[in-house]
Structure 1
Amino acid sequence: MIDPLKGFYAAEFETARKKAHGVVLLSDGKIRGGDSSFAYIGSYTQYGLTVSGSLRGIRHAHANDPERISIFGIDPVEVSFDGVAKDGYVAIEGVARETPSLTLRAILTRISD
């Protein structure tokens, strides 16, 4: 089965606390990515334009720099999300199990197949 989301994406993440940027590889239902402080590992499914899944944000850089805190203010985090994929973009909304009142919004923009 062909995975229409398969590709390399620039990722913009935002909560009410903070914004962040990273990269994400989507392939065969798996999410792999990261930024200068966190690795993102998870899975997704797609039905038509609808996307859902979960990912875990795990710190790989140990710094006390306040600019390097997660967008949720804690780590690690486990995020469940739903969204829409169309024309090289994926827009999602989700929540972390650890902070259920703090909504995540993200836009993934395809860089390459």
Structure 2
Amino acid sequence: MLTDGHYVAWFRTELGQGTGRVLLKDGKVFGGDTVISYSGSYQVEGTKFTAVLKTSRHAAGQSSVFGIDEVEIKLAGTAMGTFATCSGEVEQVPGMLFQVTLMPVRTEAERVERRYNPADFDPQRLPKGKIR
């Protein structure tokens, strides 16, 4: 289930792609990347995910994936597990498809720690290949 929290957003249009970081909290979206800020609202109903975002430039740098800085994006898609994928169009750039995938940011405490003990290595258990 998609829950409130921090997410990495991977997005693309025909002009390019990029990544940013967003916070989903109580139906609101806040976030940005190195040059563009995003804000808006979202809804999750079962597996249906919808959002409306507005963008604005906050720093000099590369052009946006829309070719203009200030747009309103209307998105619809699915939220499966802790991920969401959605797409939409931008009124200010007719016909341009925008796609985005949200992936949760995991803290160090949430990561599975894998332990390897060199004493567990037994070369006798390796597969035997044909010797020429």
**What is the deviation of 1:53?**
1.8
Name the one with the larger helix percent. 2
Question: 1:112, 1:27 → 2: CA distance?
Answer: 16
Find 2:59's aligned residue among 58, 61, 80: 61
Alignment of 1:92-111 (within 5 A): 92-111=86-105
Give 1:24's aligned residue: 22
Give 1:49's aligned residue: 47
Name the one with the larger strand percent. 1
Q: What residue identity is the alignment partner of 2:93?
A: T
TM-score with structure 1 setting the length = 0.89
Q: Which runs of 5+ in 1 are unaligned?
A: none
Give 1:80's aligned residue: 74
CA deviation vs aligned residue, 1:31-56 (integer Å, no higher than 9, x gap)? 00001101000101111100112001
Higher relative contact order (CA 8 A, sep 6+): 1
Question: 1:79, 1:86 → 2: CA distance?
Answer: 21
User: 1:96 touches 1:102 (CA, 8 Å); kept in 2?
Assistant: yes
Q: What residue identity is the alignment partner of 1:89?
A: F
Question: 1:48, 1:112 → 2: CA distance?
Answer: 23
Q: Which runs of 5+ in 2 are unaligned?
A: 108-132
TM-score with structure 2 setting the length = 0.76
Give 1:13's aligned residue: 11
Identical pairs, percent: 34
User: 1:7 touches 1:112 (CA, 8 Å); kept in 2?
Assistant: no
**What is the deviation of 1:62?**
2.7
**What is the deviation of 1:112?**
4.0
- 3-state SS, counterpart of residue 105 of structure 1: strand
From the CA coordinates, give the structure whose radius of gyration is larger: 2
Q: How many residues align?
A: 107
